[in-house]
Amino acid sequence: MNDIGRAAVVTGLGAWVPPTVLTNEELAGRLDTSDEWIRSRTGIRRRHVIAPGEATGDLAVEAGKRALKSAGASSADVVVVATSTPDHPCPATAPDVADRLGLTGAAAFDIAAVCTGFVYALGTAAGLIASGFAQSALVIGADTFSTILAPGDRTTRAIFGDGAGAVYLRAGSAAEPGALMGLHLGSDGSRRDLIEVRAGGSRQRSTGLPAEEADTYFTMAGRAVFSQAVRNMAASVRSTARLAGWDTEDVDRVVLHQANARILAAVADQIDLPADRFPSNIDRVGNTVAASIPLALADACAAGDVRPGQRVVLGGFGGGLTWGSVALVWPDVPAVGPDHAPGS
Ligand code: ACO
């Protein structure tokens, strides 16, 4: 990450989804939708959802525990939780997650960049390691969007699922496998209204008026977001490959935020790479927001589709609008996931 060759190196990967599965058929029994519509428009067949009383922090702890196990680590100087569905508006979720993982005393904070959150969190933690502030970091992406979707909204209910994924980083050399490089991050706040929860923040609370119920739920202008997602992720992947010193065609795997199977195909088309270089688990988990990239990565590693030595780019796009990507040569690291995913 810097000129003197010190870098953040991935040495652990963990994933977790709650055991409860919600199929398209079950959704079609409650909403005006169908398995056929959801599968053909998004590629999603099912998603996992939390049980009543569960929260994002619970999923983050499970994923974090597995990343620590994968790395063979029991300490971390920094714990970052990327989430847009924190356990509480205040305080951040990360200090509690760190404490529950036995990492009390670590610097712990949340990052909110919606579906790009995991890449922003990786970049932030990598910077803390590269600068010498930290020797190690646990970076977790976790979200429970099932808690902020309007019960009757077929356009969002069909898409989102709950989950968490995590990587462990330690200080190392920029030359070793697993070293993060070629970080590219961006935003366009002028399009913030395309993906939002209107109420619940200081802008609404300062009016002194109660929130309209509809404004307390998540909304997304799907069609407008689609084209932005394709354009910005394609450009970001190209930039990251260039920053890493690679030609785009030399990238072996592009693990993108799983928003829609058609978006993955369109990005592949736009950057002229074969679609089979884009691992996907969206059919089994849906869009899991900040958890999406590490969950897809863990599934692809477990399936042997992402292998040690491959040139990999991780890329995301989401509310803000925000986007970003980062490159690494995949290290020899085992993915530790839940027994009930992804095959159940
Ligand atoms: N079942 C049946 N019909 C539906 C459903 C559903 N689940 N959802 C929407 N429809 C209907 C709409 O009401 C609309 O009907 P109308 O024409 O009568 O008005 C019609 O289908 C078409 O709706 P669109 O929204 O235009 O459908 P589209 O093909 O664009 O698919 C989708 C919607 C899946 C959301 C797509 O636009 C998409 O994937 N967008 C990008 C999402 C994304 O990348 N988000 C960024 C990350 S997410 C984040 O940051 C939190």
The two beta strands, 218-220 and 107-111, are: unpaired
Model pLDDT, residue 339: 77
Torsion angle in degrees (nearest 10) through CA of 31, 36, 38, 44: 130
Annotation says 90 is catalytic: no
Closest residue to atom 32 of ligand 1, CA basis = 222
Exposure pattern of 27-66 as b/e (b: 16+ CB <10 Å)?
A: bbeeeebebeebeeebbbbbbbbbeeebbbbbbbbbbbbb
Q: Return the residue whose CA atom lies nearest to atom 39 of ligand 1.
A: 260
Catalytic residue among 115, 260, 281, 301: 115
**Ligand 1 pocket, residue 228 CB under 6 Å:** no
Q: CA nearest 159: which of 259, 271, 14, 267?
A: 259
Nearest atom in ligand 1 to the alpha carbon of residue 319 is: 50
Interacting residues of 238 by C-beta distance below 8 A, sequence separation 6+: 248, 271
- For residues 81 and 165, what is the distance between their CA atoms, to the nearest angstrom? 10
Residue 60 has phi, psi (to 5 degrees) of -60, -40
pLDDT at 130: 96
pLDDT in tens, 268-301: 999 999 999 999 999 999 999 999 999 999 999 9
Per-residue pLDDT of the chain (344 residues; tens, 9 = 90+): 544 599 999 999 999 999 999 999 999 999 999 999 999 999 999 999 999 999 999 999 999 999 999 999 999 999 999 999 999 999 999 999 999 999 999 999 999 999 999 999 999 999 999 999 999 999 999 999 999 999 999 999 999 999 999 999 999 999 999 999 999 999 999 999 999 999 999 999 999 999 999 999 999 999 999 999 999 999 999 999 999 999 999 999 999 999 999 999 999 999 999 999 999 999 999 999 999 999 999 999 999 999 999 999 999 999 999 999 999 999 999 999 987 755 44
Helix (H) / strand (E) element for 101: namely: none
Catalytic residue flag (residue 257)? yes
pLDDT value, residue 35: 97
- 251 CB near ligand 1 (under 6 Å): no
Residue type, 245: G
Tokens standing for residue 249: 């065609």
User: 86 φ, ψ to 5°?
Assistant: -65, 160
Topology of 1-344 in CATH? Peroxisomal Thiolase; Chain A, domain 1 (3.40.47)
Q: Which of 192, 225, 280, 317 to mutate to test the pocket of ligand 1 (most atoms within 8 A of CB)?
A: 225
- Burial letters for 127-149: b for 16+ Cβ neighbours within 10 Å, e otherwise? bbbbeeebbbbbbbbbbbbbebb
User: For residues 321 and 232, is the Cβ–Cβ distance under 8 A?
Assistant: yes
Q: Measured from the CB, is residue 43 less than 6 Å from ligand 1?
A: no
Residue 166 CA to residue 79 CA, distance in Å, equals 10
Establish whether 24 is a catalytic residue. Answer: no
Q: What are the tens digits of pLDDT across the range 157-215? A: 999 999 999 999 999 999 999 999 999 999 999 999 999 999 999 999 999 999 999 99
Q: 165 - beta bridge partners?
A: 15, 141
Q: Is the dihedral of CA 307, 309, 312, 314 positive or negative?
A: positive
- CA dist 140 and 290 (Å) reads 8
Going by C-beta distance under 8 Å and a sequence separation of 6 or more, which residues neighbour residue 40?
Answer: none
Ligand 1 contacts CB of residue 266 (under 6 A)? no
Instruction: Say if CB 84 and CB 114 are below 8 A apart.
Output: yes
Question: Which single residue is written with the structure tokens 């949340």?
Answer: 110
- Predicted confidence at residue 341, as pLDDT, reads 57
The pTM of this model reads 0.96
Instruction: Record the tokens describing residue 164, joined without a space.
Output: 């968490």
